[in-house]
Amino acid sequence: MSRRLRLSVAAILAASALYGTAAAARAGTPTVEDFFRKPQYLGAQLSPGGHYLAVVAPVGEQRGVAVIDLDRKGIVRMKSPGDGDVLRVQWQNDKRLIVFLGDLQQVAGEPPRESGIVAVNRDGSDSRVLTTQSGGRGFFRAWSVQVQRVLVGTDDVLLTARDRSLNSEDLYRYDTTTGAKTLLSFDSPGNVSRWVVDFDGVPRAAVSDDVDHDTSAWYVRKGANDPWVKVEEAKLGRLDSQPMQFSPDGKLLYVSGRRGGADRAAIYGYHVDTGTWSKAIVDHPERDVDASNATFVADYKARKLLGLRYTNDRPSAAWFDAQWARVQKSVDSALPDTVNVIQRSENGDRWIVVAYSDRNPGDAYLLDGKTMEMEKLFSYEPWIDPKAMAPTKWVRYKARDGLTIPALLTVPHDANGKPVPLVVDIHGGPIVPAEDWGYRADVQFFASRGYAVLQPQFRGTEGFGWKLQSSGYREWGDAMEDDLEDGVAWAVARGIVDPARVCFFGGSYGGYAALWGAVKDARLIKCAVSLAGVTSIDYLFDNAQTDLSRLAEYSTLLAYQIGDPKTDRARFRRVNPLDHADQVGVPVLLAYGASDRRVPLVHGTDFRTALDKYHKPYEWVVYADEGHGLSRDADLFDFFRRVERFLAKYLGSRSTAAPAH
């Protein structure tokens, strides 16, 4: 029987005083800056020996690294060992860290962007730049390097880089102290986009994506000196299965896929020696379990698979190891309202717990593996009071054709059962993994201003089965938009939402859907907010400025998912906001980055010209130094102040923003 976990209040207070992070949340309504400023701490990582904790932390105006000595109760801060802010850190051993550089600020639908990798000692000495986006100074080409595995206890890592060819990743063993590298993928099976390495560090499976020939495939081999065997080939981006992880003995490859016509992806076993498949080993009754939303946790030194982290209504973990399962159960018993992500030192004497929820950006705890006492070290955003945030829950509603649409719903604390105005927060992509349950700054910002927030996982969204995903193909402006309308109708019918006060909000594809709503749904909504929104589907295929141009020219993937420009021009123009600017029936807020390569500024300028022609009301802002999304504090704050005023003006809810000058 596992011991009952105890919370040590004295230790919590002592630790908070030591690290200076016990600042109380601000009284009153949080400001735009409160919601969208960078976290005070982020990404807590326990060193292999359990003696140190590394976090992303403020150092001057940048985000650098703080290393906490858990034995001596000291802390060392170092500036970013390269260009930009530190995004995350990973230990090689108790002395040395891998530091990933880029943007810490997150825009809805946009992951933080990595732009460099640096190895450095925990005291800031002996840094070695692996790559930087600014180019020229790294050991490898910019943008192409990814750390595949840290070889714990050594100064080596396994990393991928496109040094020999921009079309294919190679795998290297790289010494971060001496710079020595060894090529491990000399006999690559093709234009590899992803490697799967066995417990011995040997590349044994590979996924190939060949844009020029419009094909994807994946391969496997029995050992380092055996020939590659092609397991599956399909049109680009349309493989039915993906290799994920080898068993410790290397004989079984865990593969996610949809076998036998199954709607939902599951994890199967592929027997490398015989080329035969097992039945589904891991599956879920409602969700896909695949390489995009599930990750194996392995102890490569002990040669053990410890468990599987996977997406659920709340992110979850299934532990194969008894000790990990026991600790998870104890932590979850002590912290029942949060998702609790656990890490362990090699000897199991110390654990780190990062606890987060829909209302809590994250708290870090130190757990003693012997006494089972746990002390709170710090909060990631101590100015956010979880009790003042609104709960987010999963709901399901029926679309007009009977398809079940999952959605996240957040209702303000003070709704008290009365209908409130609604923001429909539309994700980008649109063929991207479903949203995870957890803290979202924009959602809580809207809720704090009195708006309910609905986040439909409309058709085309990945993660809830092939039927939901594929039924969104070639449905821009049609069934995908209907799903948004049906979500509003569902919320209105249940008395959650005031039908006279609804606004669409989104970025990228979400911006497109918001703008198309201003045309198609002018009787349903009162306004639309679009950040980096597509205004003409034609431009995705025709505009050489977009980074999709090569994909559109050589591959059929975009034609398969969006429509074929050779045959579907009439349909594109039927659902292009640009071609129907005369029918825009509600005010719109348009925001673009001047350097956006995914949705170039011409989408916005041409649409603005059309709105002017037909005397349509709109607000307009261009951020000179931004790309596809917002990364600068000043721009992020400015955008959401504009959004706050815009929503208050047209939906009539409360605002704390000063009037525009």
CA–CA separation, 483 vs 472, rounded Å? 10
User: Phi first, then psi: what are they for 535, rounded to 5°?
Assistant: -110, -15
What tens digit of pLDDT does each residue of 8-41 get? 322 322 333 344 443 444 557 899 999 998 888 9
CA–CA separation, 622 vs 639, rounded Å? 10
Is the separation of the CB atoms in 92 and 98 below 8 Å? yes
Six-digit token string for 396? 């399901």
Q: Residue range 524-536: average pLDDT?
A: 97
Is the separation of the CB atoms in 653 and 451 below 8 Å? yes
pLDDT for 205: 96
Six-digit token string for 488? 């509003």
Of 302, 293, 268, nearest to 282 by C-alpha is 268
Which residue ranges does the chain devote to CATH 3.30.2310?
A: 1-40+319-385
Q: Of the spans 46-60, 62-76, 118-132, 577-591, which averages the highest pLDDT? A: 577-591
The CATH code for residues 1-40+319-385 is 3.30.2310
H or E element that contains 573: helix 569-574
Q: For 358-370, b where at least 16 C-beta lie within 10 A, e where not — what string?
A: bbbbbbbbbbbbe
Which residue ranges does the chain devote to CATH 3.40.50.1820?
A: 390-651
Q: Which of 114-123, 263-272, 344-353, 396-405 has the lowest mean pLDDT?
A: 114-123
CA–CA separation, 412 vs 447, rounded Å? 5
Higher pLDDT, 603 or 10: 603
Task: Give the sign of the dihedral formed by CA 435, CA 440, CA 443, CA 444.
Answer: positive
What tens digit of pLDDT does each residue of 142-188 get? 345 788 898 877 889 999 888 788 788 899 999 999 989 999 998 89
Neighbour tally for 14: CB within 10 Å:
13
Q: Which residues pair with 170 in a beta bridge?
A: 161
The CA radius of gyration of the chain, in Å to the nearest whole number, is 25
Q: Residue range 613-640: average pLDDT?
A: 92
Higher pLDDT, 416 or 74: 416
Range 390-651: architecture per CATH? 3-Layer(aba) Sandwich (3.40)
Residue 502 CA neighbour count, 13 Å, CB half: 26
Q: Which amino acid is at 446?
A: F
pLDDT for 107: 47
First to last CA, the chain: 65
CA–CA separation, 631 vs 626, rounded Å? 7
Six-digit token string for 579? 């071609």
Is the separation of the CB atoms in 138 and 115 below 8 Å? no
pLDDT grade for 555, boundaries at 50, 70 and 90 = confident
Query: Three-state SS for 13?
Result: helix
Is the confidence at residue 262, as pLDDT, over 80? Answer: yes
pLDDT grade for 660, boundaries at 50, 70 and 90 = low
User: 560 to each of 214, 473, 481, 565, how far by Cα in Å?
Assistant: 12, 7, 19, 10
What is the average pLDDT score of the chain?
88
Is the confidence at residue 115, as pLDDT, over 80? Answer: no
Check residue 463 and report its DSSP letter. S
Is the separation of the CB atoms in 131 and 82 below 8 Å? no
In degrees, rounded to 5, the angle at the alpha carbon of residue 506 between the alpha carbons of residues 338 and 543 is 130
Query: Three-state SS for 579?
Result: helix
Total residue count of the chain as it appears in this document: 661
What tens digit of pLDDT does each residue of 401-436 get? 999 999 999 999 889 889 999 999 999 989 999 999
pLDDT for 595: 87
Q: Residue range 481-493: average pLDDT?
A: 98
Six-digit token string for 311? 């997406």
Of 99, 121, 82, nearest to 45 by C-alpha is 99
pLDDT for 113: 55
What tens digit of pLDDT does each residue of 641-651 get? 999 999 999 99
Is the confidence at residue 139, as pLDDT, over 80? Answer: no
DSSP string computed for 450-501: T-EEEEE--TT-BSS-HHHHHTTTT-TTTHHHHHHHHHHHHHHHTT-EEEEE
pLDDT for 655: 58
pLDDT for 237: 87
CA–CA separation, 432 vs 561, rounded Å? 12
What tens digit of pLDDT does each residue of 281-323 get? 999 999 999 988 999 999 999 999 999 999 999 999 999 999 9
Check residue 223 and report its DSSP letter. S
CA–CA separation, 431 vs 464, rounded Å? 12
User: 372 to each of 323, 559, 638, 646, how far by Cα in Å?
Assistant: 13, 56, 46, 51
Is the separation of the CB atoms in 436 and 427 below 8 Å? no
Is the confidence at residue 211, as pLDDT, over 90? Answer: no
